[in-house]
A and B are shown apart, each in its own frame.
Chain A
Amino acid sequence: MLIEIENLSVTFTAQGRLVRAVENVSLNVKAQESYGLVGESGSGKSTILRAICGLAPISGGTIRINGKPITHDRAFSRKVQMVFQDPYASLHPRHTIDRTLSEPLAIHGLPLTDAAITKALTDVGLPPNFRFRYPHQLSGGQRQRVAIARALMLQPEILLLDEPTSALDASVQAETLNLLSRLRTERGLTFLMVSHDLAVIDHMCDRILVMQHGKAVEELTRDALATAQMTTTYARSLFAASADRMLEG
């Protein structure tokens, strides 16, 4: 197993109240697998990704990658990278695309070449002359491509995708999902992906964990989802609410 999460709990204190964002969630992701987390907002699905990256405090349980408990050092960032939901908020507004893409290389002391930046842009389907633009000169879909390019700069094995297309139009969503699938096959990436859209998760993931109120509700394979073989009422209600996303209808 590439990623092993065992009894993970994340607890915050907000205004003196204890908020259990994630409670005893366990999941395993195989190398080169694509694993999806679904649930409504506040179900803790994004918090799991943030806990893996060290952006949320882990109050219990363990996260292991390749059998080793995670440490948030440079070696970790070369293995695991994250793409955030909102491409309007995740790129520095005053840095050019060139600077955004160079930064990971600079931090890790890797050779910084023109060719590396140009290749990163062409890999995500952007023309090389976008290098010296600022984020506000790009559309939402183009920005998300830049965010994906940035995540791939250090050649990670694992991509954590937090609602990567929910801020995008349908046609741009299709292009971005196609890009992600292509990159996964080409580079043998492992995806841990969060979405509230069952159709997107179904299209992208092999296995799915349904979450509610910080707890794992049910794990489903893609086939079980497509044939509606869920056993819990919550997973079923989520499925029913997505009825308009079925193949026919």
Chain B
Amino acid sequence: MSLLSVKNLRVTFDTEAGRVEAVRGVSFNLDRERLGIVGESGSGKTMTGRSVLRLIRPPGKIEADEMTFDGIDLMKASETQMRALRGPRIAMVMQDPKYSLNPVMKIGAQLTEGLRQRDKVSKAEAYAKAVDALNAVQIRDPQRVMEAYPHELSGGMGQRVMIAMMLIPNPDLLIADEPTSALDVTVQAEVLSILDNLVKTRGMGLIFISHDLRLVARFCDRVLVMYKGKVVEELAAKDLMHAKHPYTQGLLNCLPRIGGSREPLPSLDRDASWAL
């Protein structure tokens, strides 16, 4: 049995301007592996990730034929059960450290809050665990970072803090929403190797949401390509460069390449039939 199984997931928003379908019938299975979800902004990849944790606010509605995590029916679970899952079993790294960290709380307080509140760990032990987590994401000066406020950290540091925070409870499934898009290539490589290590050593499942096709191709095992709320193509990451769907091919072609020509980059001609 797979760790997470999703069948025909739909996320809809009833707005004044009408019904918006953000996710339209997405199905996938996940074992203890790295699954990439790629697509442009507005393709529904973030909504897919958030649905797994049922983190979609009204007027948004989640419907699915099946959504089970480790034998637990996520569609039927009570809010209390969900709360017990979020964090210790399924964790999510949000996109932007600028908006996802509490701006008026020191990093140390944010990292230890869960341990202190949920696990009733002593102050000293919580501090030690938080420092370990910061070390695990290769932050050089963890004591200083513990005392810092989010605005005192660079984007890359903030992102690593968020990853550290999610790793403290040792989850079975990590949903990482654009965890490296705020980082530059060298730091990106570091953060990815940290995540990779965690998948291997802890046997964690990972859903890696990104708009960067090349990154996903290099880092994940399997890839779902989403367009306008639907999965248009599912393929092994190593085959991504030989994708069949014109949307995936178009996305790859419009990227500049080192040593490429100076001609205008090909633009993506969208076909109305892709969204059907």
Contacts and interface: CB of A to CB of B under 8 A. Distances in A.
Given A170-B213, A175-B267, A199 B41 contact: no
Contacts of A41: 154-156, 183-184, 187
A170 B267 contact: no
A103 interface: no
A15 B214 CA distance: 39
Contact of A174 (B183, B212, B262, B265): B265
Contacts of A169: 40-41, 211
B52 to A, nearest CB: 23
Contacts of B265: 174, 177-178, 203
Given A245-B214, A246-B258, A197 B268 contact: no
A196 interface: yes
A59 to B, nearest CB: 21
Nearest to B247: A171
B203 to A, nearest CB: 27
Given A40-B184, A241-B186, A178 B267 contact: yes
A199 B40 contact: no
B55 to A, nearest CB: 22
A244 B256 contact: no
A175 B256 CA distance: 11
A14 B155 CA distance: 17
B268 A171 contact: yes
Contacts of A181: 262, 264
Nearest to A206: B262
Contacts of B186: 40, 237-238, 241
Contact of A196 (B185, B217, B254, B259): B185
A202 to B, nearest CB: 5
A200 interface: yes
Interface in A108-165: 139-140
A226 B255 contact: no
B266 interface: yes
Contacts of B41: 139-140, 169
Contacts of A196: 184-185
Contacts of A241: 185-186, 188-189
B147 to A, nearest CB: 10
Contacts of B155: 41
A37 B250 CA distance: 28
B257 interface: yes
B: contact size bracket: 35 or more
B196 to A, nearest CB: 15
Contacts of B254: 170-171, 173-174
B109 interface: no
A139 B41 CA distance: 10
B69 to A, nearest CB: 30
A42 interface: yes
Nearest to A246: B258
B150 to A, nearest CB: 15
A203 B189 contact: no
Contact of B214 (A39, A198, A244): A244
12 contacts: A170-B254, A171-B267, A173-B255, A174-B267, A177-B256, A199-B258, A203-B257, A203-B262, A204-B256, A241-B188, A245-B256, A247-B260
Interface of A: 14-15, 39-42, 139-140, 169-175, 177-178, 181-182, 196-200, 202-204, 225-227, 237-238, 241-242, 244-247, 249
Given A177-B256, A202-B257, 10 more contacts: A139-B41, A170-B212, A170-B251, A174-B255, A178-B267, A200-B256, A203-B257, A203-B260, A237-B186, A247-B259
Interface of B: 40-41, 152, 154-156, 183-189, 211-215, 217-218, 241, 250-251, 254-260, 262, 264-268
